[in-house]
Structure 1
Amino acid sequence: MRMAIITEQQRELYRTEGYMILPGVIPPEMLSMLREECSYYLGYYDSMMDAKGVQTENISHRGKRYFINNRYRLSSRLWRFVFSDLMAQVAAATVGPDAYLFHEQWVVKGAEQGMKFAWHQDSGYVKWYNPTTQHKPYVTCWCTLDDVSEENGTVYLLPHSRGGTQHSIIDHTKEDGTNDLIGYTGNDPGDAVIVPAGSIVAFDSYVFHRSGPNRTDNMRRIYLPQYSAAPIDRPDGKPWAMATPFLKDGKNIYNHADDTAEQYGPFPEPSKEKVA
């Protein structure tokens, strides 16, 4: 996808209020691939929980709510979306001409029992584990694999002008039972995002957001890559999650071969010995 999909009005909304909405921009064949990959990762994660004998893993709750993080390298094709021309446009319009893949995850609410998710800033989770962090906002790309509505647990956004969050990460507290971090306890319900499958809701990591429970008889599936303008480090100097180079001066510089080698290490040199 090379044609421009982001208007100046959308860019200005992101600059001032911290979000933009791009309805139905994911190509159908890419959307089908994401749905297939999501099914694989759900089975993968259930197997992990089975092996551990648990029903809850951090903020994931089996059958109810899943957050499956940073496993794109296990897939032979997911990188084609994460580092696509489409996502390059979104990253450039939000974090700027230099961009890194910072984090990616599946966010799935189970049918009929999919749990809510409390008000938080995505950067609030970074600060929870690294209280001294000084990172600039990164962008969360909330990619819908299903039509989303208030009935199936869509996201609610609190724009910067109402949340007072354009320049700061608010201290969060942990909620008992869910392990959710909570950063906002006011009365503003936020704005519900109602968009079709194949949409991208891009919001910066300082924006407060929440989601409701899924009351329908189908899953609500989201794929969520996040991009930063620079690596975000832990106190020990190592990347907080990932720092995979994506854009440099607006150009897509992602190299899949190098990325694969980083995961598995270099292939051994062929043996020079004669084979009997």
Structure 2
Amino acid sequence: MITQAIPTTVPQRTATTRLSAAELAAFRAKGYHVVRGLFDPNHMERLAVETEGLHARMAAHAPEEVDVSWEEGLPDGRPPRIRQLMHSERVSPIIDTMSRSDEILDILEQLIGPDIYLFHSKLMMKAAHDGTFTPWHQDWGYWQYGNIQPSQVNCMLAIDAADEENGSIRFVDGSHLQGPVDHARFASSSFSIGLEGGLDAFPSTLLEFAPGDAVFFGPLVIHGSGPNASARDRRANTFAFDRCGNQKNGELPERMHRRGAR
């Protein structure tokens, strides 16, 4: 059951302004925080065009350094479309530039400190009429294998408007405070692990977004999303950041470094 919904009508804030003390406290309490208008419409229009073009580009040739999952057999008859593209910054100059922007990094510095690297960037495209349910999960269920401590922070940037009808993200407020939880392994799912149960398994908050809005959230807050029952695609890019020195695999590549000391 959904306890509340946070709509897109929240008053706009200046993107370059750092989080206030109250906003930081809310992030610590809930495990996430929404920033409206992080990037302006001009940026988002350019990103929408670029990401739409990735379907044809990746179908023709996907570089080895990216990992592409495809959605096939779409009910509207369109050719296969990208469902998920890992390391999206390597094929999208706009996404790469955003991952280095003050708009994102100034807030990240408040949340994880001055020394920041990009753990990964992931483009997610939930096609219209896509019946896929993203199970409840903590990102730490996946990330613990590459990192020492659960100190990462995600910035999920909405490229399209998102609401309940087209499968927007939901959070279980404060669930990060219980620490890591055991995840089940799924035999057939785009997610290999997750928590058992459907959308009504936890009381949750549904978030709504306009293009350019973003949500920052940590690796232990439980989240998931429903299917896209609408005729509208839903695209978002998730930038996952961590503090330098928390990676298990030794020296940090320069291309992943974003701010401060390595």
Q: TM-score, normalized by length of structure 2?
A: 0.78
Question: Corresponding residue for 1:4?
Answer: 17
Q: What is the aligned partner in structure 2 of residue 40 from structure 1?
A: 53
Q: Match of 1:166?
A: 177
Contact 1:45 1:68 in 2 (8 A): no
The 1:5/1:125 distance shift into structure 2, 3 A limit, reads same
**Total equivalences in the alignment:** 236
Stretches of structure 2 lacking an aligned partner (at least 5 in a row): 1-13, 73-79
Residue in structure 2 matched with residue 267 of structure 1 by the alignment? none
SS of the aligned residue for 1:166 comes to helix
Identity over aligned pairs, percent: 23
1:121 aligns with 2:138: yes
1:167-210 Cα deviation digits (max 9, x unpaired):
63223222222141444336314110012121011100111100
Which residues of 2 match residues 148-227 of structure 1 at below 5 A? 148-160=162-174, 163=175, 165-166=176-177, 168-185=179-196, 187-227=201-241
Specify the alignment match of 2:36 in structure 1.
Answer: 23
Q: Which protein is bigger by CA-based radius of gyration? A: 1
Are 2:258 and 1:246 aligned? yes
2:112–2:242 CA contact under 8 A, matched in 1: yes
Unaligned 5+ runs, structure 1: 50-56, 254-276
**Partner SS state of residue 177, structure 2:** coil
> Any conservation in 2 of the 1:153–1:215 contact (CA below 8 Å)?
yes
For the residues of structure 1 that align with 2:185 and 2:81, how far apart are their CA atoms?
19
Contact 1:99 1:247 in 2 (8 A): yes
The answer for the alignment partner of 1:272 in structure 2 is none
Shift of 1:139: 0.8
Tell me: CA distance 1:208–1:48, structure 2 relative to 1, closer, same or farther (3 Å).
Answer: farther
Q: In structure 2, give the amino acid aligned to 1:109.
A: K
Q: Which amino acid in structure 2 is aligned with residue 191 of structure 1?
A: T
Distance 1:177 1:58 in 2: 17
Residue 17 (structure 1) shift: 2.0
- Shift of the alpha carbon at 1:14? 1.2
Structure 1 range deviating more: 150-159 or 35-44: 35-44
Give matches, 1:256-267, under 5 Å: none
| TM norm structure 1 | 0.74
| Partner SS for 2:165 | coil
- Residues 1:246 and 1:44: Cα distance change in structure 2 (over 3 Å): same
CA distance in 2, matches of 1:176, 1:47: 30
The 1:67/1:2 distance shift into structure 2, 3 A limit, reads closer
Structure 2 CA distance for partners of 1:5 and 1:82, relative to 1, 3 Å: same
Shift of 1:233: 3.2
Pick closer, same or farther for the CA change 1:77–1:147 going to 2, 3 Å.
closer
Instruction: Give the superposition deviation at 1:238.
Output: 6.5
Question: 1:65: Cα distance to partner?
Answer: 6.7
Measured in 1, the distance between the counterparts of 2:247 and 2:114 equals 20
1:44 Cα deviation from its structure 2 partner: 3.3
